[in-house]
Amino acid sequence: MSLSLQSGGAASRALAPPSTARAIADQGNQMTTRPITTGTSVLGMKYRGGVMLAADTLVSYGSLAKYKNARRLLSINSRTLIGAGGEYSDLQSIADLLRGNALNDRCTADSLYEEDNNEECAGEVWSYLRAVMYQRRNRMNPLWNDVVVAGFRQNPDGTTTDSPFLGVVDKIGTAYEDDVLATGFGAYIALPLMREKYRPDMEEGEARALLEDCLRILFYRDCRALNRVQIAKVTMDGGVLVSEPYELDTYWDFKGFVTNKGEMGTDGGW
């Protein structure tokens, strides 16, 4: 990458347009090379008896805060949640895919005797998504998302484990599990805070409070974040629950936010 400034102005704008043949070829096979409408971080955390996800409801168009009530936490089946940042249309596509699979599972009985328990567990959804994401990036046409998958893992004998599942898949198919996860800007801002406060035996209320604190801090520091958020959880006996979007209270009177650090009488920030 060159650090020098690109030549600008009339000269650069006067560059010859691409040849017609090239333009048509480009149209024929378009691949995602960059995201257009994007969501930002998703946070996920295990707690006693469940997993919780949190994300704001902003979808940006570049730096423009375009859609302020977009839901980025979605239920896939009765025990699995996903949450995603990145290209919002790709998230819609992923949700259609996974929900389609879930519908198939519901409609086809694997056994003639037992019709229940056909559902994919969160671990399977996560693994499947990993295969899809990796295949897409190998075709040089990635789904531009980092997806967090939450739920419970199933034992080989069909029983659901007590321990919750939390995993993430990124846009090139890298996949891993952890007790606390954050994608996007949250991986820099929120993840250290979450790791500091996390305990495996946290109560639901504590977990929610911690996630809300992290979302609030992300709203302060991430220019693509919003204080309108959603929280979602999967519990052992209650299944999935995704909250309606709601707004976090914010406090802007911190001295650091108010006083001018530039000391030059400018509008310099904090």
Partner 1 sequence: MFRNMYDTDVTVWSPEGRLLQVEYAMESVKQGSACVALRSDTHSVIGALKRSVSELSSHQQKILEIDDHLGIGIAGLTADARTLAKWMRNECLNHKYVYGTAMPTGRLATDLADRHQRTTQTYVRRPYGVGLLLASFDKNGPHVYQTCPSGNVYECYAAAIGARSQSGRTYLEKHHETFPTCGRDDLIMHALRALVGCISGDGELTSENGSIGVVGKDERFVLIEGAELQPYLDRLELEGGNNAGGAEEEEGEGDAEEEEEKEDDVMET
Is 80 a residue of the active site?
no
Q: Is 128 in the site for partner 1 (CB under 8 A)?
A: yes
Q: Is 103 in the site for partner 1 (CB under 8 A)?
A: no
What number of other Cβ atoms are within 10 A of residue 43's Cβ?
30
Q: Is 263 in the site for partner 1 (CB under 8 A)?
A: no
Q: Is 157 in the site for partner 1 (CB under 8 A)?
A: yes
Q: Is the Cα torsion angle 155, 124, 147, 104 positive or negative in sign? A: negative
Q: Is 56 in the site for partner 1 (CB under 8 A)?
A: no
Q: Which of 32, 80, 154, 183 binds partner 1 (CB under 8 A)?
A: 154
The C-alpha atoms of residue 166 and residue 153 are separated, in whole angstroms, by 9
Q: Is 244 in the site for partner 1 (CB under 8 A)?
A: no
Closest by CA to 95, choosing from 135, 54, 125, is 125
Q: Which of 113, 200, 205, 266 binds partner 1 (CB under 8 A)?
A: 113
Helices (H), the chain: 9-13, 20-28, 88-107, 122-138, 186-197, 204-221, 255-258
Rg (CA), the chain: 22
Q: Closer CB to partner 1, residue 82 or residue 193?
A: 82
User: Which residues form the interface with partner 1 (CB under 8 A)?
Assistant: 108-114, 117-118, 120-121, 123-124, 126-128, 131, 154-158
Which residues does the annotation mark as catalytic?
32
